[in-house]
Amino acid sequence: MFRRFLAIIAPLLGVALTLASVFLLLYMTVQSELMEDPLARNLAMLGTLIAGVFLLVGSVYVSTRIAVLLFLGEPPKEKPLIPSDHQ
């Protein structure tokens, strides 16, 4: 029952996170377009682009991670950073 509830909530949370990122980026874009100084406006646009990449890629990563953890049932095994000599 709990997993079924999570299976419904996880995609909705992913959509809400992505939609919130889009609205935040829209607000940042409008505020940067209203700036008078060209240097500040260009720096604000660059900041908006960088923030957009991090927000949208981050929201997709979080949504995918939640779905994997939900449907896998347990956290995936982490690979060791240093390969061992034992085979």
Distance CA 34, CA 31 (A): 5
Long-range Cβ contacts of 39-47 (<8 Å, 24+ apart): none
Domain count, the chain: 1
What is the mean predicted confidence (pLDDT) over 3-9?
80
Domain-located, residue 77: no
- Average pLDDT score, the chain: 84
Domain-located, residue 79: no
In this prediction the pTM is 0.69
Structural domain boundaries enclosing 53: 2-72
| Confidence category of residue 87, pLDDT binned at 50, 70, 90 | low
Domain-located, residue 44: yes
